Amino acid sequence: TQLLEQSPQFLSIQEGENLTVYCNSSSVFSSLQWYRQEPGEGPVLLVTVVTGGEVKKLKRLTFQFGDARKDSSLHITAAQPGDTGLYLCAGGTYKYIFGTGTRLKVLA
Amino acid sequence: NAGVTQTPKFRVLKTGQSMTLLCAQDMNHEYMYWYRQDPGMGLRLIHYSVGEGTTAKGEVPDGYNVSRLKKQNFLLGLESAAPSQTSVYFCASSSRTRTSEQFFGPGTRLTVL
């Protein structure tokens, strides 16, 4: 059974700080996706990483896919209150396994 | 375009009652999914469909049934609701490509008393 574990589970930081969220598995995934979910809404895709070692940047967010395609990280630079939400990683091909989630709160 | 819509948004059931959740998408997507989300457990796949008339079991299918009679609709049924099925249910759809984005509906909050 494929599992994706995210850490930390909760994170509360001050505006302007940097943070990293991790998504780890013992299984190899063909691709990994990162989603952000806000209260009362469904998740929204941020990025998809496909190649081992791949790094993608989305403004202040940097996503990395591990060389062995078993793990991924999300780094946020100079966090803002608008980054607050639940961050979910998901792995697979058309049928996805979701991680346990990291709930981020950025305080102004 | 409305994207993915779900009805109802909220529902309260008594143990043993039945209900159907409706998901509709207007993006002509082949794949559709039903997930449940519980605190601390992310999203867990209940059932999914790779095309009209086809369905398959996900991680947690027990107590649920699904049907995909039309490409744009995916129904999730609870025949005899149990308190353990209290959750937020999300429907999603995606196109056929290998790394396709999943588009999610707004969710249905179900409470079983």
Mean pLDDT to the nearest integer, B81-108: 92
Please tell me the predicted confidence (pLDDT) of residue B94. Answer: 93
Q: Nearest-CA residue of chain A relative to B47?
A: A95
Put simply, the answer to whether A93 touches B43 (Cβ < 8 Å) is no
Please tell me the predicted confidence (pLDDT) of residue B40. Answer: 75
CA dist., res. A66 & res. A71, Å (int): 5
B36-58 per-position pLDDT tens digit:
999 877 899 999 999 999 999 99
Q: Which helix (H) or strand (E) holds A100?
A: none
CA dist., res. B74 & res. B47, Å (int): 10
* Closest of B102, B77, B83 to residue B91, by C-alpha: B102
| Chain B partners within 8 Å of A7 (Cβ) | none
| Residue A15 in tokens | 């505006």
Of the partner residues A41, A94, A100, the one whose CB lies closest to the CB of residue B42: A100
B41 touches chain A (CB under 8 A): yes
Mean pLDDT to the nearest integer, A1-22: 93
Put simply, the answer to whether A93 touches B31 (Cβ < 8 Å) is no
Please tell me the predicted confidence (pLDDT) of residue A23. Answer: 96
B60: left (phi over 0), alpha (psi -120 to 50) or beta: beta
Residue A94 has pLDDT above 80, yes or no: no
Residue A68 has pLDDT above 80, yes or no: yes
Give me the residues paired with residue B94 across strands. Answer: B31
Mean pLDDT to the nearest integer, B2-26: 96
B10-21 per-position pLDDT tens digit:
999 999 999 999
Identify the residue with better confidence: B1 or A85.
Answer: A85
B54-90 per-position pLDDT tens digit:
999 999 999 999 999 999 999 999 999 999 999 999 9
A28-59 per-position pLDDT tens digit:
998 899 999 998 899 999 999 999 999 999 99
Of the partner residues B40, B45, B104, the one whose CB lies closest to the CB of residue A42: B104
| Chain B partners within 8 Å of A96 (Cβ) | 45, 102
